[in-house]
Amino acid sequence: MSQSHFFAHLSRLKLINRWPLMRNVRTENVSEHSLQVAMVAHALAAIKNRKFGGQVNAERIALLAMYHDASEVLTGDLPTPVKYFNSQIAQEYKAIEKIAQQKLVDMVPDELRDIFEPLIDEHHYSEEEQSIVKQADALCAYLKCLEELSAGNNEFLLAKGRLERPWHRGAARRWITLCKCSSQASSCRWTKLARIRRCKVLAGRRLCSTRPEYLKTETVPGSAGRRPPSPVW
């Protein structure tokens, strides 16, 4: 097997901190975030299969989630307000991500490339797989916001607001089920999430019937009133 720097690069994910524009009570790196997203994505996929008649491969989705931010070892974690400042920047950053993903794939030894390429290159993700990973990614970001807010750090208030977006009906049900399965303690942040999402579900309308006042006016600077696009639910 030829010499490779692939795993050496992956080991450096722990050096890349998320939320770089925010004051953090506790810093979070990309490596630990990826593990959390993998666990949540696996749980969402399992819930979809067992409770809602899904046919997804939960184990593959866990692996996709584990590697979903692997390219950030080359690009870093670009803050969301920058990434979605306008459509041109968003498209260019997407192109940069694809280049970084291909560079990582090229580092994998030839004997293992057919195993790792489908996990790193998003071209190999099905629409359903990509959707579940995005749901898990958003949920983990939301949990981070709740953790910081519970520690008295109000800098995460707007970030929390950006994540409180319209939910696809099925995704919302799976999220609430996960919250209920994860803890029986009423004070647990998972239970708080279930309580937040326990609202009216109407076709073609947002899940919750209430909306924080600051969400009505908060926008991304320079985006002509547009907010960053929400994940594909």
- Residue numbers in the known binding site for substrate are 18-19, 33, 69, 77-80, 137
Alpha-carbon separation of residue 180 from 31, 33, 172, 194, 222 (angstroms):
27, 22, 12, 7, 40
Binding residues: 18-19, 33, 68-69, 77-80, 137
Dig out the tokens for 38 from the structure: 């993998």
Sign of torsion over alpha carbons 197, 203, 204, 210: negative
Structure token pair of residue 225: 């009133």
Q: Using an 8 Å Cβ cutoff, are 36 and 133 in contact?
A: no
Q: Which structure tokens are listed for 171?
A: 């995704």
Residue 17 β-bridge partners: 29
Angle between helices 113-120 and 87-107 (to 10 degrees): 170
Which residues are documented as binding site for a divalent metal cation? 33, 68-69, 137
Tokens at residue 117, please? 């390429």
